[in-house]
Amino acid sequence: MFDPGVAGTVEGVEIRIVLDRLDPPEGRLQVTSGAGRAPEGMGEVPFTGWLGLLQALSLVTGSS
C-alpha cells in the first residue's frame, strides 16, 4: 500500500510530469507503478506554479 504521508523506498514507481501550460507551470503528476497502474490512493496530482510542482512532488514521494 502507498502512504503519501510516510517517507520510504518504493520500488518500480514512475512519476510523469504533464504540463498543460508553461508560464506559470500548470499541469499534473501521473504516478504509475511498474505494472502501469497507480499505487493505491494515488493517480494524478494537479499543480499550479513552481511551488505547487514542488509540493506535488513532495506529496507523491513522501518527502517532508
Task: Name the residue ranges covered by the structural domains of the chain.
Answer: 13-61
Burial of 49 (0-12, 13-18, 19+ CB in 10 A): exposed
How many Å apart are CA 42 and CA 8, to the nearest integer?
16
Amino acid 1: pLDDT:
42
Q: Is the pLDDT of residue 38 over 50?
A: yes
Greater confidence (45 vs 43) lies with 45
Q: Is the pLDDT of residue 46 over 60?
A: yes
CA 27, chain centre distance (Å): 11
pTM, to two decimals: 0.67
What is the SS3 assignment for 50? Answer: helix
pLDDT band at 2; cut points 50, 70, 90: low
Q: Is the pLDDT of residue 42 over 50?
A: yes
